[in-house]
Chains A and B, each alone.
Chain A
Amino acid sequence: MISKKKRYRLRGRLWVLGLVPFAVMVLAFQLAPVWSMLSGSFRSDADSRWTWHNYYTALNSPFYLKAIENSLLISAYSSLIGIVVGLVCAYSVTRFAPTVRDRILMLSNMTSNFAGVPLAFAYIILLGSNGVFTLLFREWGWNVFDGFDLYSWTGLTLVYVYFQVPLSLLLLYPSFYGIREQWKEAASMLGASSWQFWRSIGVPILAPAIFGTLGILFANAMGAYATAYALVGGNYNLLAIRIGSIVSGDVTNQPNLGSALAVLLACTTLLAVSLNAWMTKRSARYLTGAAKAPPRKGFVRQRGTGVALAEAKEGTG
């Protein structure tokens, strides 16, 4: 009896060994860096004393304030455009037969691999100062793109929108299956116009998905670094770019200020992502079981991979 208990206890302790390498890796490469960044952001760059000064500088210097503002603006614009385009395309794609729909989604998902550096490069080929369209339109005498400059804010927003659209489409289209045909029929039988149906039934049902996706897109754009960096190096005054150049020592050596900026950036993306988590919970609560059930069982796994892939591309954006 005793030996059995002992053996059980031994086994009860031994399984902990399986967790040791994981704990070591996470501690060394995730928790320690986060701690170092957090504590560093409260230390002065001059004499490493505890201070609020880094946050004060970050939020008061016109230069960094502008970078934060630029990042927030381009993220807001690109996610809003991404949501609108994504919504229209997601609605439209659910009108197709499943095989066609899956093929369209697959193609759109495929292009989401084309993010970051290669994407910036492709846009330079298309719309850069010697781009194909730029030269062609000049040759043909069209002047639609005359005032357009890829290296301006409009240009950068255009490139950001490109990587937001597939993500938005992929995250939004399943929620359209939550709106059942019978509801539309019932509404129209009761005399509601199509506009009235969408305004008072369709959009409220989609709202959690829309806000949740908006959170993901916003975080995606806030954290995007590669695209802007590849387009014009460190010349854009964006938060992510600023952090990159401070820390890699291109301009000044102020690691603690860089940490404070990084903490601010992480706060915005964490907020945006938790908006998504909150909205997902909400939509799960008030959609009925039947409505939130996915369209086809076999497709769930594929979609899971697709969403994961799309979200994976965030980092490279």
Chain B
Amino acid sequence: MTERNQAGWGHRTLQSLLLLYLLLPLAATAVYAFAGDWQDTVLPKQWTLEWFESLFQDTRFLEALWNSLYLCSISVALSLAVMIPAVFVLTVYAPRLESLMKGIVVLPYAVPGVVAAVGLIRTYSGGPIDIAGTAYLLVGAYFVAILPYMYQGIRNSLLTVSAPELMQAAGLLGAGPVRAFLTVVLPNIVPGILVSTLLSFSVLFGEFVLTNMLVGAHLQTVQVYLSRRMGESGHLASAIAISYFAFILILSMVLMKLGQTKGRRVRG
């Protein structure tokens, strides 16, 4: 154990190099976003907030930000509304069907976004349901993309609070299944589901392939907007990238805090 606690200088150098390698692109983007004049020197000659100012006055960026936020929120909300009853019903009433559900739900892991986009475009452009290029199609695609995280999160929470036993107990005390679900099970699984909700949100916020291929021509999210502006102004693009990263970072920190408090509660 002592050896493990006092890692030698070799290990320390290696890890420092690793972190340097991993953080360098991030640091460069951050410096570029705040740099006034940066040429031929290690660090910029002057610093400025100009790029962020112009970014948050740029109506096209604000529109993209709004698009990202509402598309992700609607998709996650829809997923919650659909997945909670489905996973609940399977866990409590039909555990035998769970392996089928697992098979369906794990598919988006293995199928790349480009492939999913091909199928979606084929199905919904022309034909009886023509919703190509609309937010409806994207929300459907997003719903499928976050299936694995939502399923895992909801199922784990249900098992942690032992939902089947809770339902039985509530039934014995005279509550109908719907009432038992709404007043006993649902309040108990909210903390667990919160984690997978935030995770799904941050996954969708960073989504590019589906968004660009399905609705890129009509609707721009932050990622699509960034890819369009990259060639024009490097400083502005860095400001977008850093704002995006800061947002995701805050989200994952909240996520980690939630995970920790939950872990402690379960252990205690």
Contacts and interface: CB of A to CB of B under 8 A. Distances in A.
B and A form one assembly? yes
Interface of A: 11-12, 14-16, 18-19, 21-22, 25-26, 28-30, 32-34, 36-37, 40, 85, 88-89, 92-97, 100, 104, 106-108, 110-111, 113-126, 132, 135-136, 139, 162, 165-166, 169, 219, 222-226, 229-230, 240, 243-244, 247-248, 255, 258-259, 262-263, 265-266, 269-270, 273-274, 297-298, 300-302, 305, 308-309, 311-316
Contact of A270 (B8, B111, B147): B111
> Which range holds the interface residue count of chain B?
35 or more
B213 A273 contact: no
Given A15-B93, A21-B86, A136-B42, A114 B118 contact: no
B39 A122 contact: no
* A interface, over-half SS: helix
Contact of A123 (B25, B86, B88): B25
A37 B202 CA distance: 29
Interface of B: 3-5, 7-8, 10-11, 14-15, 18-19, 21-26, 28-29, 32, 38-42, 81-83, 85-86, 88-90, 92-94, 104, 107-123, 140-141, 143-145, 147-149, 152, 177, 195, 199, 202-203, 206-209, 212-213, 216, 223, 226-227, 230, 234, 237-238, 241, 244-245, 248-249, 252, 255-256, 259-260, 262-264, 266-267
Among A97, A121, A162, A244, chain B packs the most CB atoms within 10 A around the CB of A121
Contacts of A219: 110, 112
B86 A316 contact: no
A312 B118 contact: no
Contact of B262 (A28, A224, A229, A301): A301
Contacts of A21: 81-82, 85-86
Contacts of A244: 114, 117, 209, 213
A225 B116 contact: no
Contacts of B245: 113-114, 118
Contact of A96 (B4, B19, B226, B264): B4
A106 B227 CA distance: 27
Nearest to B10: A92
Contact of B144 (A29, A301, A305): A29
